[in-house]
Structure 1
């Protein structure tokens, strides 16, 4: 571990430097900081009082099991609150002035390598990948200083064909964008906008793009490329070639020797079934080595294949920080938020992720900087080779981050070495994945890598320009959402119980507040515990008329009210202050309940099975392809889509049925039990209101997005089992 004094908050020196020296960027502390700090102290006192109440009840009442379950649940909730509060103590906003950077001589523009990752041509359509590639090739940046590397972990000839078509189209698209100052530099986006002011050149270019799109989609539909037409290009795709077993492939599709278009390089690393490939982290490390051999640019941008560029000046925004001599020594990366297209009006699945990408990021930015979220991130290449004060050299001189790549990228020696470092056995007995490059050991390689880089002493910056830097695709089906977040929860648990856990290594290396901030996401899967306990236990007590919470006449009753309402009001204020709406906030908190009883619940089970060597979780690519018309219609109408229904919805449906039963039972017995069960009835009411889409999908709907009868039947059976079990537990 690096011995140093960690940065707890953005220092006054940095603020003065930013405002009075470089003038390329400014930092503004958030006005809500002081009120949040005051409330944090008050809320903490309330949590301490609640823990005292649980401890007192544990030793004085004859409900040890019930009290213990509530105590465990509240400890988890308190941990989540503490980690979230660490991000509210010093939030900051930043402003960049890229127009001032443009005025600099061209030698001040460093070379840029762009890494784009794809893995499945059917879940990640090749035409979507091509649009992302074209959008970054068309940056408002010197073309001869951009190199775009596409990692195809599926080894698909369909993707390569799409990139070949994109390379030819770029010769017309890039000059058009720069001559006309086009802002939407994804062809698909630009040509989908109807404009009466289009010139004849634009109309001809649109027809050319549609021809490209037709050719690519035709190849995807038939599932293969005509190898007779491209005999020298697709020879490797023979009958032995599979996505899991194939040699390394590197194709230079575009060369920037003409200074009109950037470099475009297709990379598909070697794979053998018996050799671990470490999913996306392994693909990125392959790109890191291949690019070191070919171009070795000092700045690296990582992108998911669906995150097209929406702002042609994005590199200039990043350089406002990365080129600042007062802060760039320890500055490792500049993170941009993810933005998504096609989200329905009120974001019914909470897919905008306002809390992770807006609320929390400004909090991290006031500590050691934002976390790495896997895409939309500009790295200093040096960051992947050890701490700022200790350069760890790779095994080959050609991979050193400071080397100047002065050979043509098509040179035989360059391509031979690039193929070598893309081999599946190259990393054996090296530091790759442990001390060099993106880190292995978790399915959430982005979060884990960012954490380790911060622990080494690197800092980061959050950049949120007024015009969004990138737009991407987001799942439009609830099934895709919960499966994606289940994979995240498994990776977070792997990280939480590893040698480099944020709970231990993070707090020791980063200090209290930044360490707690990194604990925030690691605690996510554990929220399934309080959601399960509070979704079942008080409801069973309500059915049998047994008190679990204090009466309204009891002073402890108001402590529960204060802690609950205080947490929700603060969360709502965060949402509104960062540009959200009340409806979006309501959908977000409802999705928390759904994720907790599906993604996080099964994520903990899957991780436990993995730990016991009873299961091996894989990396399933989230589909970015558009669904059928009926599915898109339901999403546009904000109707929950449970198709294809699976067992992952069973706990959530069971809790919904149990709470409805408890709510009806509580209303019936309200006059008999008086005020004694007020909190239990309020809790059941809250769950019932949040579960309205579930009841609708169970009973009222006839479309394909409803819950399957088998899931509903099993939920009913489990509800009866819980009620019967509650009799023996409570009576």
Structure 2
């Protein structure tokens, strides 16, 4: 009943765009809501810090002091950059330092959880262990995403990352600008005092980090949508990832040992997968269209070695997935998304990094809205992919789908006609495998009329680029 009452009030406030007087039932609420002026919006508002519980005076029913409970909403301005979740965490880090400066921080996120209520106590045991506390600063639980459909079509479970591969990690093994943010600073004033509240509002302002090292040398790392990976990585030994003097293989092996550096390198070099994935999705198929063999003939010993390695690699991956509690259909979607990511986000991410490295400005990443309409939710529940946004990311994927389809049809036609296709067998099998992976793309291009279908502009561009790529390849093959 309390939750439904709160929900009703929130919805009414959102609908009216203002706080009605009936909700300002005491001075504390009135003080907080008076900050909600006419120009107050979700992305443009001043800092809001409200003390809900003060341990110096708030008691439970048995008379014991309750812990401090403080609501914080950092300042946001259209004129200032937003660093998303990492920025929010850095603000909370500074506000916490100013108001209490407790030695440990526990961060809850909607996609991370533990079923054990004693988890904080167990974490404190690690942080308090005199044998390891000087080398330990960050403990993170694996992510768990809720609301996935039955077959997890987008591979959002990340089973390999958070369950299978993490087993291999087991057993391997800031300077501040103002005195109140110093790690050794003792807070000796009440959190409700004017000085504490003024400083807390100051460090939560969107201009506080200007000309500072927050987000690069201090706090949580900016520049990534997954700040937890970067933060955990940097807290161990590194300031930059992959291509720097703190390279995971060279510097990492010296700091953490070879095994741990290889484990981190597995993730640090993920974007480079775009090179072999793009190669295998395009080059053998273009060669097949031009009747050029690039793989061993079926009668050669190398043919059987190639088939053996492919089947063993996929077989081991499937076995790991099933032993980790997955299903065959979820595994298929996971390996399908591995190919899709290689052709889309890994490819564009690598291009963006190279452009930045030579001083060319890029658009960068931005978070998309997580709000789904009923039609999108229904399609997701039915296992239907969304391609409705006319994004350049879909061009390489659509190109691969088009080239592989025509390549497979060409190879199959030659096989049915009895042509000598002994040297083209592997290429045709590879094309057929990718065609199966691209079935959602074909449906989005030609068979769907809903809002999640592929944009016509993307289809046309992909078709023209595919044809151009075919004619270019015919000049060299």
Q: TM-score normalised to the size of structure 2? A: 0.86
Q: How is 1:581-600 mapped onto 2 (pairs within 5 angstroms)?
A: 581-600=327-346
- For 1:598 and 1:664, the matched residues in 2 are separated by 25
**Larger relative contact order (C-alpha < 8 A, sep ≥ 6)?**
1
Answer yes or no: is the 8 Å Cα contact 2:44–2:77 preserved in 1. yes
- Does residue 307 of structure 2 align to residue 513 of structure 1? no
Shift of 1:272: 6.4
Answer yes or no: is the 8 Å Cα contact 1:609–1:615 preserved in 2. yes
- For 2:308 and 2:444, the matched residues in 1 are separated by 34
**Aligned match of 1:12:** none
Answer yes or no: is the 8 Å Cα contact 1:539–1:684 preserved in 2. yes
Shift of 1:622: 4.2
**Aligned match of 1:700:** 447
**Aligned match of 1:721:** 468
Q: How is 1:602-617 mapped onto 2 (pairs within 5 angstroms)?
A: 602-617=348-363
**Aligned match of 1:437:** 219
Q: How is 1:81-480 mapped onto 2 (pairs within 5 angstroms)?
A: 207-226=1-20, 230=24, 232-238=31-37, 247-256=46-55, 257-260=57-60, 262-270=67-75, 278-304=83-109, 312-325=117-130, 327-368=132-173, 385=174, 394-424=176-206, 426-427=208-209, 432-433=214-215, 435-440=217-222, 444-455=226-237
Answer yes or no: is the 8 Å Cα contact 2:44–2:78 preserved in 1. yes
Answer yes or no: is the 8 Å Cα contact 1:359–1:574 preserved in 2. yes
- For 2:357 and 2:77, the matched residues in 1 are separated by 25
- For 2:48 and 2:365, the matched residues in 1 are separated by 22
Shift of 1:443: 5.4
Match 1:684 to one of 402, 418, 431: 431
**Aligned match of 1:22:** none
**Matched residue of 1:639: which SS?**
coil
Alpha-carbon spacing, 1:619–1:253, altered in 2? closer, same or farther (3 Å): farther
Answer yes or no: is the 8 Å Cα contact 1:279–1:619 preserved in 2. no
Shift of 1:226: 4.2
Shift of 1:554: 1.9
**Aligned match of 1:496:** 242
Shift of 1:591: 0.6
Superimposed CA distance per residue, residues 650-708 of structure 1 (whole angstroms, 9 cap, x where no aligned partner): 21111111111111110111221231111111111110111112112222223222222
**Matched residue of 1:300: which SS?**
coil
Superimposed CA distance per residue, residues 256-313 of structure 1 (whole angstroms, 9 cap, x where no aligned partner): 4424354332334456667666554343222212111212222211233565776544
Alpha-carbon spacing, 1:668–1:533, altered in 2? closer, same or farther (3 Å): same
Q: Which moved more, 1:440-449 or 1:356-365?
A: 440-449
Answer yes or no: is the 8 Å Cα contact 1:496–1:502 preserved in 2. yes
**Matched residue of 2:220: which SS?**
coil
Shift of 1:518: 1.4
- Does residue 450 of structure 2 align to residue 650 of structure 1? no
- Does residue 332 of structure 2 align to residue 577 of structure 1? no
**Aligned match of 1:201:** none
Alpha-carbon spacing, 1:398–1:525, altered in 2? closer, same or farther (3 Å): same
**Matched residue of 1:651: which SS?**
helix
Shift of 1:330: 2.9
Instruction: Give 1 or 2: higher strand fraction.
Output: 1
Alpha-carbon spacing, 1:255–1:590, altered in 2? closer, same or farther (3 Å): same
- Does residue 386 of structure 2 align to residue 635 of structure 1? no
Shift of 1:346: 1.4
Match 2:420 to one of 673, 692, 698: 673
Alpha-carbon spacing, 1:725–1:570, altered in 2? closer, same or farther (3 Å): same
The unaligned stretches of length 5 or more in structure 1 are 1-206, 369-384, 386-391, 457-491
**Aligned match of 1:18:** none
Superimposed CA distance per residue, residues 228-258 of structure 1 (whole angstroms, 9 cap, x where no aligned partner): 9655324444456676766543222333442
- For 1:306 and 1:703, the matched residues in 2 are separated by 30
**Matched residue of 1:672: which SS?**
coil
- For 1:630 and 1:424, the matched residues in 2 are separated by 37
**Aligned match of 1:664:** 409
Alpha-carbon spacing, 1:309–1:645, altered in 2? closer, same or farther (3 Å): farther
Answer yes or no: is the 8 Å Cα contact 1:441–1:495 preserved in 2. no
Superimposed CA distance per residue, residues 361-415 of structure 1 (whole angstroms, 9 cap, x where no aligned partner): 22222312xxxxxxxxxxxxxxxx4xxxxxx6x4444334345545321122221
**Matched residue of 1:714: which SS?**
helix
Answer yes or no: is the 8 Å Cα contact 2:98–2:199 preserved in 1. yes
- For 1:211 and 1:421, the matched residues in 2 are separated by 34
Shift of 1:524: 1.5
- Number of corresponding residues: 464
**Matched residue of 1:299: which SS?**
coil
Shift of 1:340: 1.7
**Aligned match of 1:93:** none
**Matched residue of 2:139: which SS?**
strand
RMSD: 3.0
Q: TM-score normalised to the size of structure 1? A: 0.58
Shift of 1:719: 2.3
Answer yes or no: is the 8 Å Cα contact 1:545–1:673 preserved in 2. no
**Aligned match of 1:32:** none
Alpha-carbon spacing, 1:221–1:366, altered in 2? closer, same or farther (3 Å): farther
Answer yes or no: is the 8 Å Cα contact 1:281–1:445 preserved in 2. yes
